[in-house]
Amino acid sequence: MSFSVYEHCAASESLDLGEIPSHWDAKPLKRIADIDSSGCYGVDEEEGDIGLPVATTAQIDADGRFVVDEMPRRGFTQDEVDRYSCEDGDILVVKSSGSATNIISGKAGLVDEDTPLFIFSNFLMRIRPNRTKALPSFVYAVLRSHLTRQRVEQMCSTTTYPNLQVPEYSSALIPVPPPDEQKAIASFLDVETSKIDALVSEQRCLIELLKEKRQAVISHAVTKGLNPNAPMKPSGIPWLGDVPQHWEVIPVKFGITKISQGFSPQCHSEPASENEWGVVKVGCCNEFDLNELEQKALPSEVDPISEYEVKNGDILMSRGNTLDLVGSASLVQNVRPRLLLCDLVYRFRALDDEFNSAFLVYSLRSVNVRSQIECNAVGSSSTMKKVSQELVRNILVCRPPIEEQSEIAKNLHEQAETFSQLQAEAERAIELLKERRTALISAAVTGKIDVREFAAKEAVA
């Protein structure tokens, strides 16, 4: 799609904004909107006069919408409700969140007329555009553009923690077209970003289908084998059904070494360098292969315990996590030195004459085993379920002959590579679409393209 450009542009007073159409203004954000630099978190709901959801940084999704159902409920006075409740057209911006390499500060969300009533917390700032000067949807687009993102990253680069510099953010010049052009730009972006969002949604659906297909392939291979013509027999287990006649179904405990777990010293938040000792985090087990990046540096004053060092051939399993991740198993291969086991991760090894290590890990990641784990995990919190060593030992898995296990593991490795490649292509497509979306927003709100004619055609259509 090609766009017209404005014929006459002039330099703005902001170096990073550069030239804008000559009939546009550039004004500080605080001159076109009322800005509240902090909200209110209230008290426990039963202690307040009025109970309402309160937004924190976590409830603004990637598309700038508010997930009110997931907001914590807190108690507030009537005065606090009057002052800190959000209304149609309000824009909330994250003030402080993330890390130096993953800056969440500056993430913005727009409240629309369909959003249920909620309060904004002290982790956010509220921008309420003056509708006689600026259309909320246009201001919101500016705050999600490359221009604002670069400003936020510059502000955060001067601090250890990514804190938004509210006075600087509020004083920064933003482009302000005439009202009719603001409306035209907002309408254009609504149409075009919706098209891009639909394509992103298609790619996300494809990724989910690939994950489901991968899981189905694994589950079938480790319970039915690769030979569709193999004679079958009843397993005696209703949820497992028939298995190949020459296979056995056994509890894991008959094919593994003793289960152990590590320790949890107070560690630095950053990962260990090559020459430092690190302690794995529970997320290291989320995929088939151990994720070495999921670890924290052990302080130099803490002595490493050599018996907890992770070794090639180990199988690691998360002892505690969310229900969908607790019990996730990974195989340790080509591991870096000086990596220690934590107490939220179990470790064991396959007995050589009973299991091929890769086959066992694939089995532990199958649908049938996941069902056993999720039905028996314990814990009152939805965000932290745990599995006992006894549960792990009694997980039922199929045991083909060792040679057949190796053949199945090899086949699954090959198929996993194909699935991973397809998923990577879909993820790359999503990134390109997101880049296209941001570039389009930035070009429209800074006057690099003229969309007035396009918006007029859309209005007629």
CA–CA distances in Å: residue 14 to residues 19, 28, 133, 446: 9, 10, 20, 12
Write out the chain's pLDDT in tens, 461 residues. 678 899 999 999 888 899 999 999 999 999 999 999 999 999 999 999 999 999 988 888 878 889 899 899 999 999 999 999 999 999 999 987 766 666 778 889 999 999 999 999 998 999 999 999 999 999 999 999 999 999 988 888 666 677 888 999 999 999 999 999 999 999 999 999 999 999 999 999 999 999 999 999 999 999 999 999 999 999 999 999 999 999 999 999 999 999 999 998 888 878 888 889 999 999 999 999 999 999 999 988 888 998 999 999 999 999 999 999 999 999 999 999 999 999 999 999 999 999 999 999 999 999 999 999 999 999 877 778 999 999 999 999 999 999 999 999 999 999 999 999 999 999 999 999 999 999 999 999 999 999 988 766 766 65
170 and 252 both lie in a single domain: no
Domain membership of residue 242 (yes or no) is: no
Structural domains of the chain, count? 2
Strand duo 50-55 + 119-120: pairing:
parallel
* Residue given tokens 């997931």 in the structure block: 70
3-class secondary-structure state, position 221: helix
Q: How far apart are CA 152 and CA 154, in angstroms?
A: 5
Domain ends where: 118, 147, 174?
174
Q: What is the DSSP letter of 163?
A: B
36 and 135 both lie in a single domain: yes
Give the CATH number of the domain where residue 305 resides. Answer: 3.90.220.20
160 and 44 both lie in a single domain: yes
151-187 residues labelled b (16+ CB within 10 A) or e (exposed) = bbeebbeeeeebebbbeebbebbbbbbeeebbbbbbb
Q: How far apart are CA 267 and CA 272, in angstroms?
A: 10
385 forms beta bridges with: 321
Domain ends where: 158, 174, 190?
174
* Residue given tokens 């639909």 in the structure block: 198
Domain range for 56: 25-174
Q: How far apart are CA 321 and CA 327, in angstroms?
A: 8
Q: How far apart are CA 416 and CA 5, in angstroms?
A: 48
* pTM of the entire predicted model: 0.82
- Give residues with Cβ within 8 angstroms of 44, minimum separation 6: 74, 75
160 and 256 both lie in a single domain: no
